[in-house]
A and B are shown apart, each in its own frame.
Chain A
Amino acid sequence: MSEIAVTDGLPRAAARAAVLRAAFDRSFAEPSRLDMNLMEDLLMVRAGDDVFAIRLSDIAGLYADKKITRVPGGDPALLGIAGFRGTIQPVYGLTTLLGRPAEAAPRWLVIAAAAPIALAFDGFDGHLRVASETIRPTDASAKELPFARDFVPVQQFVRPILHLPSILDAIRTQRQTVAPGENQ
């Protein structure tokens, strides 16, 4: 009896298992139900008293408590240099770049994806994934934040999104004005 039941049951169970396995495998192959093209990943960072957002796609890495070696030079925003997996990169203070009073020792660093430059800031408030449609362009008349082209509403606040390429451009311009040839 039991042998017959097992024999009878096997094909059905095997077929069922095959269906489940196929569905399981397919779930990995299929695109996510959430359309990632319509989503933006943002890092919420604190510089001075303000919270800003940075697009995850603009950065190559996030570090905490990295030792910054001070270097003598003329650029007030340059905090020093730091080592990242065998490369040496300049570290700039985000607060100073944004025209605010510099904090004593920013704890967090992001490495820009577009250039080997690190930006230091005081606090990291977390990661946020938002629908692209919630991001709005900043009013062109908003002069007080030169590097913010968009903003994102977060709960009851509006957070400026820092445009990293513009910040990198500003650093390059600043470098050109500081004692050209000093490092030649």
Chain B
Amino acid sequence: MAADPYRYFRLEARELLDQCAQTVLELEKGGPAATLVQQLLRLVHTLKGAARVVRQAGIADGAHAIEDALAPLRDATAGVTRDALGPILDHLDSIDHQLRMLSPVEPVASAAANSLPDEPWRAVRADVVEMDMVLDGVAETHGLLTRLRDAERGLEQAQRLAEVLKAQLAVQRHHGGASERLLAIADELQRKVGTVERGLGSTVDQMDRELQQLRDAAERLRLVPAGSLFTVLERTALDAARTLGKQVKFRAEGDEMRLDSHMLGAIQSALIQLIRNAVAHGIEAADVRRRAGKPEIGDVGISISRRGRRVVFECRDDGGGLDLESIRRVASRRGVSGPDVRHADASALVQLLLRGGITTSETVTEVSGRGIGLDVVRAAIERLGGEVVVRTERGWGTVFELVVPSSLAALEVLIVEAGGSGAIAIPLDAVRGTVRIGAGDILPSAPGTAVLYGQQAVTFMALSTILGGAHQSVRDRSSMVLLAGADGLAAIGVDRLLGTANLVVRPLPDNLHVSAVVAGVAFDAEGNPQLILDPDGIVSAVRHSAPGSSDIVPATARTRILVIDDSLTTRMLEQSILESAGYEVDVALSAEEGLKAAHRTRYALFLVDVEMPGMDGFTFVEQVRADPALHEIPAILVTSRAAPEDLQRGRAVGSQGYMIKSEFDQSRLLALIKPLVR
């Protein structure tokens, strides 16, 4: 049996027709004419687009005719007369009749039909509220399993007690104090309890697995692959191109994302409109493109991605870009927003376009031309509580971004544990790598610093610190997760990596002011919320709160420094700080060794301890200043001697900086070094 091609169109068209009829009724009753006409225009415009997609020319023509009839009424301030509404109602009736003719043919009982008895039901989607009730029930039942696990533990203890009892009785029987019969009873008790405990344990495990699968299946029912939109959008692009005699190629990205079916339903009409506009207004005719040095076939595309707590639908074309001058002209002519329109910038003009009523199209066609389209986009975005961002460049194309708050979405995540806060999820597509680290790999005392990842210095902070917990120093055998966000890269320290999972992300409760590092929550198996992090928020938090992060040297400009110190601790500390900040570091254990190294390798700076066996730091600097090959290399002295005369001597021998160990601070050290090594 062939699939019913009008299955979804019938539902959408019926809903639109009902809304049209309702709006006309309100117009008849003398409702606010301008608003209602605008609303009616939006509805029939959407209906026309949908009809075109499923090639129902009759219905599309009817909708087009209603638009014609409504156009003169758009600015009606007084009421709309019944006479004016007559033709509109006739067209609505005609569309209604055509829609009825599209009713599915009753399936004929046949061998083929019998082989797929459930086919018509495969596409049925459940009511959201009922679906949520199923999920709630599963979560509650899963919670109850925890109690059964407690019972299982109780039985395990009872079995151990029976074992102890049996051993005690065996000892007593040996001394003639207990009967064989009592021992047999204890033995039987231990066996029985053991059998029940094993039976209960395996049943609970099985129920756990079954409930997990049930929950996953139920949650999947709420979500629809984003790619399900792409077929309709591609057909829209190709149909519009054919109608207008243009050539376009349609590209789509993000089909693997699973999103709330309600969100996709609401956004679909807006995306259809944007794609249609891209072809009609954006993509130029083949000869124009050729003259502009572009491929004759225009590029129109859609991509869907997640950005923290939002989902971004990006519709782009490589056409001529928005003609802002035309918009300005038309808006001025129509007096849409007064004399200021002449000076309005691109963003203000785009907002005018979104308000509807302006079109730059010279002619009204089947595809576009009345300026109603972007009003449809605005209405959809307002319903979803999102925003529209437009980027356009004359000659190069336009990008419309519809950014809407995410309701539900499936997401691949990396689950980690940090600072005893339980399992936390990180969107996997932002994870660039994970590395096992120890305390020596980063500076242990700072709340945030840098670690080297390959050849790159990356700002680092423990996740528990970011989440507002007590600062935790990095322990040995911790893990570092490297994250990519809008601001670049950042590394976060976690206690353990627990694995990956596919979670259904839910929004946080309304009006709850939670730090921007949290993108949403998911329910764990027992119905408890589990945090899902926003990589952009995390990267921003790490990069903006880590002290000394501005001192990090870009990987491309690495500078070599020689650390000379006889103390292992100081040497390692200084090396760690400098390497974390992106410098290359060599170490020498004495001033003599340092001088030899300085003649072998060209250093940008010497960081020298003052008190060392053999040659001290002052002498080292004196010798460097006297050496024609080395005298220009700056030196910083590090010492525990804080007397004014010591500082004076440091300056006298020619050091550029003096750092007192008791006041040692990594930020100060890096700030001291930075200007000297430029």
Contact = CB atoms under 8 A, between A and B. Distances in A.
Chain A residues touching B, range: 20 to 34
Nearest 8 pairs between A and B by C-beta? A86-B136, A72-B515, A72-B468, A67-B528, A85-B136, A178-B513, A69-B529, A73-B514
Interface stretch (A18-26, A39-47, A75-83, A98-106): A75-83
A81 B513 contact: no
Interface residues of B, number: 32
B351 interface: no
A182 B640 CA distance: 46
B512 interface: yes
Interface string B66-87: 0000000000000000000000
B103 interface: no
Contact of A85 (B139, B309, B422, B531): B139
Interface of B: 132-133, 135-136, 139-140, 309, 421-422, 466-469, 506, 508-509, 511-518, 521, 523, 526-531
A129 to B, nearest CB: 29
Nearest to A70: B421
A72 B517 contact: yes
Contact of A81 (B309, B422, B529): B529
A180 interface: yes
A69 B531 contact: yes
Contact of A70 (B133, B467, B517): B467
B136 A72 contact: no
Contact of A180 (B135, B139, B508, B513): B513
Contacts of A83: 139, 523, 527-529
Contact of B513 (A74, A82, A116): A74
A155 interface: no
B513 A73 contact: yes
A69 B514 contact: no
B117 to A, nearest CB: 33
Given A86-B136, A88-B509, A116-B509, A182 B514 contact: yes
B508 A72 contact: no
A73 B140 CA distance: 28
A83 B508 CA distance: 11
B514 A86 contact: no
A72 B514 contact: yes
Nearest to A174: B513
A70 to B, nearest CB: 6
A38 interface: no
Contacts of B509: 81, 88-90, 116
24 contacts: A69-B529, A71-B512, A71-B514, A71-B518, A72-B466, A72-B517, A73-B515, A75-B513, A78-B512, A81-B508, A81-B512, A81-B529, A82-B529, A83-B139, A86-B527, A88-B506, A88-B508, A90-B509, A90-B512, A175-B511, A178-B513, A182-B514, A182-B516, A183-B511
Contacts of A69: 422, 521, 528-531
Contacts of A81: 508-509, 512, 521, 529
A21 B331 CA distance: 83
A90 B133 CA distance: 21
Nearest to B420: A70
Most buried by B among A67, A85, A88: A88
